[in-house]
Chain A
């Protein structure tokens, strides 16, 4: 029987066998990059909200502290989204006629909640708690970025496990004195490494082995 493939087609065979390694590696790389990209984690994408609430106005321009609205951030796992009453503390007197604030006034009149769109959302199988971080000197900025410059709120970091672990392994790179937790644009007063190590000791932050054990976050 005559040969189906000529001798010369061996080249193709070699190329495909050799190339497969690269193609597989490329697919792996592409998948990994896509998975970590802002496209799939939705980081840095501003979300549409029923009221275009701007942290840049309220925090950046007027200088209101985060805790004025996110009242429970120091005492509970949940940071709290302010109720309409909190907005009306000021907006019962200023920007009274602004049409952008109509949903807020309507909510105050009727008692219906404003339905904010969630921005940061961990999967439900992850346990997260604000109070422990805030009380051990991890500032809002370390996780949420420069909120005071956000006209509409976005998620700053990937919120993937890798990101949490990166800090849990080296908290000294991020911790700051407690009085600065809500400060935006914090600059350490000296060398972060020295200050960080000192604070880790002072606040009794546990070692990396404990903080990276699975049951800390998956409980």
Chain B
């Protein structure tokens, strides 16, 4: 009887010790960015070896992926139809990735510029209004002068949507009353502040 009791107590103590093991909490598997001892640089995520192409990522459509025609000139035409959805998507992406420097209106007075970053040109100068779509795409993809490139942060399609939105911004700054649909002109007399405008 007494030994049984002792045995039970020992089992209980051992069992409660088992519950403290963390094996299932910290499994020997790699979740994103978990370090490893196996490779010298400590990264479990390996970089692609130069020259490898993942299936479906040959990216040989230069117009779409580089914004360039076969002879290396910036494309003038969008590689896919621009719909309202494309521009709205571009708006959200622009506000995330470009507005810190170029501000929401494209004048180039973003918060980071106010803290000492080089002042980018306004999108509304003649040279940039005349620039080809493919040129703006190229600036995002490869950077330009003091501007860093955004190839790693923004997927290709989103870059194009941003180009569409920059075009919309440029249009909006040089619009006349005639560009407004006739049935909406009445609203012009009561301008409402743009939602999400300059903070």
Contacts and interface: CB of A to CB of B under 8 A. Distances in A.
Interface of A: 61-65, 67-68, 71, 78, 80-81, 83, 85-86, 88-90, 92-94, 111-113, 115, 123-125, 179
| B interface secondary structure, majority | loop
Contacts of A124: 24-27, 29, 31
Contacts of B111: 61-64
11 contacts: A62-B111, A62-B115, A63-B111, A63-B199, A68-B96, A68-B97, A93-B116, A94-B115, A123-B24, A124-B24, A124-B26
A17 to B, nearest CB: 19
Given A78-B32, A81-B33, A112-B41, A123 B148 contact: no
B117 A125 contact: no
Interface residues of B, number: 28
Nearest to B95: A65
Instruction: Give chain A's interface secondary structure class.
Output: loop
Contact of B117 (A94, A111, A179): A94
A85 B152 contact: yes
Contact of A125 (B24, B35, B95): B24
Contacts of A86: 152-153
A67 B117 contact: no
Contacts of B152: 83, 85-86
Contacts, number: 62
A124 B26 CA distance: 6
A94 B42 CA distance: 30
B33 A88 contact: no
B100 A125 contact: no
B18 to A, nearest CB: 16
Ranked nearest first, the 9 interchain pairs of A and B with the lowest CB-CB distance are: A123-B25, A124-B27, A89-B148, A65-B96, A78-B32, A62-B111, A94-B116, A67-B96, A125-B24
Contacts of B97: 68
Given A63-B100, A90-B112, A93-B117, A179 B92 contact: yes
A164 to B, nearest CB: 16
Given A63-B100, A90-B100, 11 more contacts: A63-B111, A67-B96, A68-B97, A68-B100, A68-B153, A78-B31, A83-B152, A94-B112, A123-B26, A124-B31, A125-B27
